[in-house]
A and B are shown apart, each in its own frame.
Chain A
Amino acid sequence: MSPQQPVDGRDSVLTLRGISKTFGAVAALTDIDLDVAAGQVVAVVGDNGAGKSTLVKILSGVHPPDSGTITFGSRVVHIPTPAAAHHLGIATVFQDLALCENLNVVENLFLGQELRPLRLNTVAMETRSWDLLRQLSAKIPTVRVPVASLSGGQRQTVAIARSLLGDPKIIILDEPTAALGVAQTAEVLNLVERLRENGLGVIMVSHNMADVKAVADTVVVLRLGRNNGVFDVRDVSSEDIVAAITGASDNVVTQRAARRAVPGDATVEEGPRQ
């Protein structure tokens, strides 16, 4: 497969070439290529076991790759630790948001990077928190409540805002809408668009085709640890993406769709409905 071209000819901020990773006898990733430009939302989709999480972990410094090159800006980099990723400007928001429920929003945002360690500058931290949250048009009424009292979407907002503190160039969102309701999902998708407007490169790992179609510019499909297609979201249908994910145009998803389309045939093979 030929290396993809960045959308609209923009220079990519992050470029992966030939990334491979094996765990024992299992090849989790083989020859992965990926390009992310500033102000571009790249959705990484794939079935369970396709290697999405491994890719996220390589980029966030949890696992080093076995081979391949990562180019950030214009130089080749190594990302041995999470701190190195953070230092480069790659921020990751993991699926379990890892917030301290007993601390309030400001305390969570600045956890581990408080201003003035020996006499905390609470005023500056609160001001900066409001700046960040306004920048994301976040709907959080007050920053002085414990995170425990926030909704799922609001927590996701706090987690994303926290990743923005270090002025990252690339932000990786791992299943940002997985646990959210309809309205909260829309809120988070707005947030992703806001990140793009602010010129960040966004890598969004998702299972949800609707979300992917709604915000992504480019869809990268992984299948069994390999690139299985790079699509511009404007000229691809959900069916094509699903076909690439499952590896065949005649797959379980299309079969279901076909059955639902002809109600008379639906009774034969279908299990009990919920």
Chain B
Amino acid sequence: MKLTDSPEAVATDLQDERLQARAGLRGGLTTVIDRARGGDLGMIPVVVGLVVIWTVLQILNPVFLSSANLVNLAMESAAVGVIALGIVCVLLVGEIDLSVGSVSGLSAAVVAVLFVGQGLPAWIAIAVAVVMGMAIGYLYSQIYNRFGVPSFVISLAGLLAFLGLQLYVLGSRGSINLPFDSGLVTFAQFAFVPPWLSYVFAVVAAGALFASGFFHARDRRNAGLSASSLTALLARSGALLVVLGFVLWYLNQTRGLGWMFVFFVALVLIMHYLLSRTKWGRAVYAVGGNVEAARRAGINVKAVYSSAFVLCCTLAAIGGILAAARLAAVNPSSGGGDINLNAIAAAVIGGTSLFGGRGTAFGALLGIIVIQSISSGLTLLNLDSSIRFVVTGGVLLLAVIVDSVSRRSRTSHGRA
């Protein structure tokens, strides 16, 4: 606290004598430790997990942390990452969608058939697939809102039904290759940000973080509330600049930053804004926390569920298109295999609670990097998918255990 301890000098929100003053770096650290003890782990498990996984894999195979492999890792993360972002939305309202893999496969098949088979322009094919994703989400939400069928049953039915539809759309052709010179494949395989532009991105990101923090702190100070100091803001954006700068410099040693990954990060940022800075976002968290309270507060609960399902299936459709473009082909197994589980695992590992009301958009970004690291590392070790499935399954289970234990700990520390 300041030396001038007159009532006027103390910010409105710090006047209670029971509050312990926590300023500066040490105060911030104490707060983080306190929260973690109380079961509010936030991003800690995923960051720790990432460090452990990267260390182990680097020791097992020195190629793992090479620039070329990390560039590849980022590109591979984008498609499933977009799907995981949608999963975060449904998990936040306390529901689940098990059919994202099938929806992504169906959307890829629709794009391939319209674009390659019918010769339509790519943007029309993509638009049709995305609208179809929306329609599927709307259908789910209507079944959920009108009949009250649990979402995991609805989406389990969808898992099978849309896999069937995907096979029907592909028909006897089986596999369809996307032409290598098409914009879609170029975007997913060969489009990289020029190094100078990637550094501009880093500077803009750090600058935006500082500006938003600065204006927020100014508004708070003007309103007589406590606010973070200029030093803290500078330290935060400086740290972001250094980290981003280093990562980009390392990636730029080889091919650099892929546009597809930039697209994924842009979606994460938009979702982060929607969830944390809009009325809709508050409604999503409220519905996930206590539906009855949300309803009594005048929130249109059905509309919130609908928006979550529609967003999830739309993002699944977009993810499917990205995956098809990355592979430059669509076949009956597109969207199959471990895509479903990887997307859900990424969301949960990223700190999104299966019990609803907790999680962030950034969780999907970090979570998918963990999942993709495991997959990439095991591929580098020449281990086949049997072992990959077992390891990914184990990591998912571990993430859910962490979620459940921290939930119990929150309850016992009064932070449920």
Contacts and interface: CB of A to CB of B under 8 A. Distances in A.
Interface in B195-247: 216, 219-220, 223-225
Interface stretch (A63-71, A123-131, A202-210): A123-131
B279 A118 contact: yes
Interface stretch (B290-298, B310-318, B327-335): B290-298
A146 B357 CA distance: 12
A100 B94 CA distance: 13
A141 B16 contact: yes
A107 B282 CA distance: 8
B289 A100 contact: yes
A144 B13 contact: yes
B416 A113 contact: no
A142 B19 contact: yes
A120 B216 CA distance: 12
Interface in A84-133: 86, 94, 98-103, 107, 111-114, 117-120, 122-124, 126-127, 130
B285 interface: yes
Contact of B13 (A86, A103, A126, A146): A126
Interface in A58-85: 82-83
Given A100-B289, A102-B288, A111-B286, A117 B410 contact: no
B12 A130 contact: yes
Interface string B373-416: 00000000000000000000000000000000000001001111
A148 interface: yes
A123 B293 contact: no
Interface in B11-58: 12-13, 16, 18-19
B37 to A, nearest CB: 13
A142 B290 contact: no
Q: Taking each of B13, B280, B288, B292, which has the highest tally of chain A beta carbons within 10 Å of its own beta carbon?
A: B13
B277 A99 contact: no
A267 to B, nearest CB: 45
A149 interface: yes
Given A111-B299, A112-B299, A127-B223, A119 B289 contact: no
Given A101-B290, A123-B220, A144-B13, A113 B278 contact: no
Nearest to B40: A146
Nearest to A101: B416
B124 to A, nearest CB: 31
Contacts of A82: 296, 298
Given A101-B290, A102-B357, A123 B223 contact: yes
Contacts of B290: 98-102
Name A's interface SS.
Answer: loop
A243 interface: no
B415 A117 contact: no
A82 B290 CA distance: 19
B278 A120 contact: yes
Nearest to A118: B278
A208 B413 CA distance: 31
Nearest to B12: A130
Interface residues of A, number: 36
B221 to A, nearest CB: 10
Contacts, number: 101
B279 A124 contact: no
A227 B293 CA distance: 32
B320 to A, nearest CB: 30
A143 interface: yes
Contacts of B216: 122-123
Contacts of B296: 82, 94, 98
B326 interface: no
Nearest to B297: A112
Contact of B282 (A86, A111, A144): A111
Interface in A8-64: none
Contacts of B414: 148-150
A98 B292 contact: yes
A183 to B, nearest CB: 15
A111 B294 contact: yes
A82 B416 CA distance: 29
Given A127-B223, A127-B224, A102 B358 contact: yes
B299 A142 contact: no
A114 B101 CA distance: 36
A28 B179 CA distance: 74
A146 B18 CA distance: 17
B288 A111 contact: no
Which has the most chain A C-beta neighbours within 10 Å: B280, B283, B296?
A: B296
A100 B358 contact: no
A149 B286 contact: no
B302 to A, nearest CB: 14
Contacts of B299: 111-112
Nearest to B219: A123
A117 B297 CA distance: 15
Given A103-B285, A146-B415, A148-B410, 16 more contacts: A94-B296, A98-B297, A101-B289, A101-B290, A102-B288, A102-B290, A111-B294, A112-B298, A117-B280, A118-B279, A120-B282, A123-B219, A127-B224, A148-B414, A148-B416, A149-B413
22 contacts: A82-B296, A100-B290, A100-B293, A100-B357, A101-B416, A107-B285, A111-B282, A111-B294, A112-B298, A112-B299, A117-B280, A122-B216, A123-B216, A123-B220, A126-B225, A127-B12, A139-B16, A142-B19, A146-B415, A146-B416, A149-B413, A149-B415
Give 3 closest A-B pairs by Cβ, nearest first.
A112-B297, A117-B279, A102-B289
